[in-house]
Amino acid sequence: MRILLHRADGKTEPWIKDFAKYLPDADIEIWHAGEKCQACDYAVVWSPPEAMLAELATVKAIFVTGAGVDALLKFGDALPRHIPIIRLEDAGMAVQMAEYVTHAVLRYFRRFDEYEAQARAGQWAPLPQHHKEDFSVGVLGMGVLGTRVLEALAPFGFPLRGWSRTGKSLNGVQTFHGADGLDTFLRGTRVLVCLLPLTPDTSNIMDRANMHKLPEGAYIINVARGAHFAEPDLLALVKSGHIAAATLDVFRNEPLPAQHPFWQEQRITITPHISALTLRRESVQQIADNIRKTEAGEPVAGLVDRTLGY
């Protein structure tokens, strides 16, 4: 068995060592631009370049080392539709995402962002506390990551809400679905957490009109994809005060350009796409298990529905 591996950062050696441990019968072929690869059975990639399409079009399955697959689906039918695309379902990312979002929610609820600004200005001024019953947290996207975030927030006693494309239920969470449910979901959400997959239907889903449906003084936490939000609209609503503050881990262009106006807005907190990092060993274990299942003709976890985009 041969596996074609591509890492944009060039750090392939640790992945090779882990595959040797968890899938010892496999030979690893490193993809290099301009070099002809030997025929491979499987490919393991994150955000492959277009020049890699010829090799990807001949494998049995493509494994993506992340939960999102938009960077692969952008190639459309240039990537034959009969080739399965399999994403990571968790591999240690869910708990990281829950940590990040819980921290951001509590930071806004306890007004630590405002106290940080006061401290920089040398001010000592206790602020009125938010009322928990008025601090509803709504999660856009109730997949593996969104569900884990809601479960992590449950012990704090916030009113919890969740929105998904199709109807879902989760104990202790008020759920909404579809286009009809989105409006009601947004109007009752004080803290909006975006954990949607990026698809043609969800691109720009948070434009000015939808963000304006959030209550005055709402908060935004985006840990999904930058393209879910219309950035100029978000900036304008933050400056107007309709959005009290935003914590953003993802952006349309990454790294975020130095001249981007988000850097100058103190009420926008920026982190460099670190809300949930891929844990290599856990990822290799999951991929190795799915390759063994594929070889045995068994169903695998994380199989992408290209029609849905996730």
Q: 286-299, pLDDT tens digit by residue?
A: 999 999 999 999 99
Region 151-163: mean pLDDT is 98
pTM: 0.93
> Is pLDDT of 36 > 90?
no
Q: Mean pLDDT over all residues of the chain?
A: 96
Q: Please give the pLDDT value at position 37.
A: 85
CB 286 within 8 A of CB 61: no
CB 185 within 8 A of CB 157: no
- Radius of gyration of the chain, Cα coordinates, nearest whole angstrom: 21
Q: Please give the pLDDT value at position 67.
A: 85
Question: Dihedral angle at the C-alpha atoms of 178, 209, 222, 77, nearest 10 degrees?
Answer: 60
Q: Please give the pLDDT value at position 91.
A: 84
Region 4-11: mean pLDDT is 92
Catalytic hit among 6, 165, 225, 228 = 225
> Is pLDDT of 109 > 90?
yes
Catalytic hit among 273, 280, 292, 306 = 273
Give the pLDDT confidence of 120-147 residue by residue, as tens digits.
999 999 999 999 999 999 999 999 999 9
Q: Please give the pLDDT value at position 95.
A: 96
In the chain, DSSP assigns E strands to 2-5, 27-30, 42-45, 61-64, 85-87, 137-140, 160-164, 173-177, 191-194, 218-222, 243-248, 268-270
- Rounded Cα distance between 64 and 283, Å, is 10
- Rounded Cα distance between 91 and 293, Å, is 17
DSSP state of 82: T
225 tagged catalytic: yes
Region 102-129: mean pLDDT is 98
Region 230-249: mean pLDDT is 98
How do strand 2-5 and strand 27-30 relate by DSSP bridges? parallel
> Is pLDDT of 90 > 90?
no
List of residues 6+ apart from 305 with CB closer than 8 A = none
